[in-house]
Structures are given as C-alpha cells and as structure tokens.
Structure 1
Amino acid sequence: MSDSLDPRRKRLLFRCCHMGMVENDLLFGRFAKARLHHLSEEQVGRFEKLIEQGDNDLFNWISGKEAVPPVHDHDVMKMIKNFKNED
C-alpha cells in the first residue's frame, strides 16, 4: 500500500506509526494505512497539522476526555473518530 503513496503521504504514514504514545501509534497508524490514499490534498494538510499536536492532547480529544479545539474539529478529526468507533 505505501508503495503507491506519494512522498508526502509516505512521510505522514511513517509519522502516524511513530508518534510516541502506543495508543496513538496504533490508531493513527491504522487510520493512515486504511484511509490516507483517499484523502484530498487539503485533508492531508489538516491531518499533518493535527498530528503535530501533543500525544496527550490527541489521545484526550479522540477518547472524548477533552473537547476538540475548534481549529482541529474538522472532517479529518471526525473521520478518525469514526474509524476508531468502527472497531
């Protein structure tokens, strides 16, 4: 799958699989492997900015322990939350 990705998406996939917190590695890595090739360039940009946030913040937002800040409450965040709930 990653062989068919452009360099930008390959870097993003690598970053998603090596985030620092195991829980985030698993969720974001699986999401990236499954959905990254379907995202538009704009969505990839939002995804890149999202994963620049701290591991604890991301975990708390995805798990619902904290509200997602408006700047990150976008379609990609909703896709990740829906992906998490598909399991």
Structure 2
Amino acid sequence: MTETHEIRLKRMTMRAWHRGTKEMDMIMGGFADAHLASMGMADLDILDALMEENDQDLYQWVTGQVAPPDRFAGIIAKMARHAGAR
C-alpha cells in the first residue's frame, strides 16, 4: 500500500515531535508545524532521510557545532533559522 501525501505529513509531524530528546522535539517539531505543508516532494524526501539521523548529531548540526553532511546542509540551515526566530 502506498502512503498518501496527507498520511506522510501526519507521520512526519509525529516523528518530528517525538524524537527522543526534548531539544530536538522542540526544534524539529516546530519546524515541521511551520513548514511541512508547504514543502515540495524533494524537500520532504530530504527531511524524511534527516529524521533517520540520531538526535545528538542533529542537535550539533542545527546549532552549528558541527557541519552537517552536504545533502542535509540546506534543510539544516532552514531549521536553524527557524529555531533562531523564536
């Protein structure tokens, strides 16, 4: 069975808000709430792959402590800007 776009957005929102660390719940969940609905399929694919990474790495990438892998650099930059806008 193929996942519909609506179900994919719901699944990704749930994953964004239930990361495992409170910090990444807030960062990724807030980003998902603000941006998922307007993202294209390619960006959703990248974000879906990013959600497979562990929270410790994600947090270091978003906060600029460590440079993210090239394939995630764009979405991490957007996420960092969003987190800083609060």
Q: CA RMSD in A?
A: 1.2
The equivalent residue for 2:60 is 60
- Report deviation, 1:23: 0.1
State how far apart, in whole Å, the 1-side matches of 2:43 and 2:67 are: 21
State how far apart, in whole Å, the 1-side matches of 2:17 and 2:85 are: 19
State how far apart, in whole Å, the 2-side matches of 1:73 and 1:64 are: 11
- Report deviation, 1:72: 1.5
- Report deviation, 1:82: 1.1
- Report deviation, 1:71: 2.3
State how far apart, in whole Å, the 1-side matches of 2:77 and 2:27 are: 13
Superposed, which structure 2 residues align to 1:18-33 within 5 Å? 18-33=18-33
Aligned-residue sequence identity (percent) comes to: 27
SS of 1:35 mapped into structure 2: helix
State how far apart, in whole Å, the 1-side matches of 2:80 and 2:55 are: 15
Can you give the 5+ residue segments of structure 1 that lack an aligned partner in the other structure? none
Superposed, which structure 2 residues align to 1:2-81 within 5 Å? 6-74=6-74, 76-81=75-80
Can you give the 5+ residue segments of structure 2 that lack an aligned partner in the other structure? none
Q: Deviations over 1:9-51 (max 9, x none)?
A: 1000000000001100011111111111010011100000011
**4+ runs deviating over 6 angstroms:** none
- Report deviation, 1:69: 1.5
State how far apart, in whole Å, the 1-side matches of 2:69 and 2:43 are: 17
User: TM-score, normalized by length of structure 1?
Assistant: 0.88
